[in-house]
Amino acid sequence: MQQMSVGVDQTVELQHGFSPLLMQANHILSLSQADLEMAVSEAIEENPALELEDCVVCPVCGRRTSGEPCATCRIASPEPTVAARADESLPRFDQEYRSSGGADPDFDPMSFIASATDIRDQILESAMASLDDGEEQVIALVLVDAIDDRGFLTLDLEEIAAQTGASEETIERVLATIQEIAPPGVGARSLRECLLLQVDYLRAEGTDIPPAVQAVIEDHLEELGGKRIGRIAKALGVDPVEVEAAQAFIRDQLTPHPLQSQQAATWTAPSSGGHVVPDVVVTLEGEKLWIEVPNAIYDRLHTDAFYRAIAKPEQNPAPEAAAAATDQETVSHAKAQVARAQQFIWAVRQRRQTLLRVAEYVCAYQEAYVRGNARGLRPLTRSEVANALGVHESTCSRAVAGKFIMLPSRKVIPMSDLFAASLSVKHVIQQIIDEEAANGGALSDAQISERLLDHGIRIARRTVAKYRSQMHILPSTVR
In the chain, where the domains are located: 16-110+272-416, 190-260, 422-470
Segments in 156-207 forming alpha helices (H)? 157-164, 168-181, 191-204
Residue 412 DSSP symbol: E
- The highest-confidence range among 77-86, 184-193, 465-474, by mean pLDDT, is 184-193
Predicted pLDDT at 232: 93
Predicted pLDDT at 83: 35
Whether the per-residue pLDDT at 459 is higher than 60: the answer is yes
**What's the alpha-carbon Rg for the chain, to the nearest Å?**
28
Query: Does residue 66 or residue 299 have the better pLDDT?
Result: 299
In 10 A of CB 200, how many CB atoms? Answer: 16
pLDDT tier, 69 (very low <50, low <70, confident <90, very high otherwise): low
Judged by phi (left if over 0) then psi (alpha if -120 to 50, else beta), residue 187 lies in: left
Residue 366 DSSP symbol: T
Identify whether the C-beta of residue 193 lies closer than 8 Å to the C-beta of residue 249.
no
- Please provide residue 358's backbone torsions phi and psi, each rounded to the nearest 5 degrees: -65, -45
Predicted pLDDT at 318: 54
Predicted pLDDT at 95: 32
* Range with the poorest average pLDDT among 41-45, 60-64, 272-276, 315-319: 272-276
Average pLDDT of the residues in 449-461:
80
Identify whether the C-beta of residue 473 lies closer than 8 Å to the C-beta of residue 253.
no
Predicted pLDDT at 320: 56
Q: In this predicted model, what pLDDT tens digit does every residue of 309-322 receive, in sequence order?
A: 887 766 655 555 55
Average pLDDT of the residues in 474-479:
72
Angle CA(263)–CA(410)–CA(360) in degrees, nearest 5? 75
Average pLDDT of the residues in 432-449:
84
Percent of the chain with pLDDT over 70: 74
Rounded to whole angstroms, the Cα distance separating 371 from 283 reads 9
Predicted pLDDT at 428: 81
Average pLDDT of the residues in 363-369:
91
Per-chain mean pLDDT for the chain? 76
pLDDT tier, 76 (very low <50, low <70, confident <90, very high otherwise): very low
Predicted pLDDT at 262: 55
Identify whether the C-beta of residue 470 lies closer than 8 Å to the C-beta of residue 262.
yes
Predicted pLDDT at 319: 55
Q: In this predicted model, what pLDDT tens digit does every residue of 263-287 receive, in sequence order?
A: 665 565 554 444 567 889 999 888 8
Predicted pLDDT at 12: 43
pTM comes to: 0.46
Whether the per-residue pLDDT at 235 is higher than 60: the answer is yes
Predicted pLDDT at 375: 65
Predicted pLDDT at 130: 74
Segments in 226-366 forming alpha helices (H)? 229-236, 240-253, 262-265, 297-300, 305-311, 319-324, 328-365
Predicted pLDDT at 64: 65
* Range with the poorest average pLDDT among 115-129, 294-308, 401-415, 427-441: 115-129
Q: Which is nearest to 336 in space by CA: 39, 49, 44?
A: 49
Whether the per-residue pLDDT at 187 is higher than 80: the answer is yes
Coil, strand or helix: which one is 50?
Answer: strand
Q: In this predicted model, what pLDDT tens digit does every residue of 90-131 receive, in sequence order?
A: 333 333 333 333 444 444 444 333 333 457 777 887 787 777
Please give the single-letter amino acid code of residue 357: R
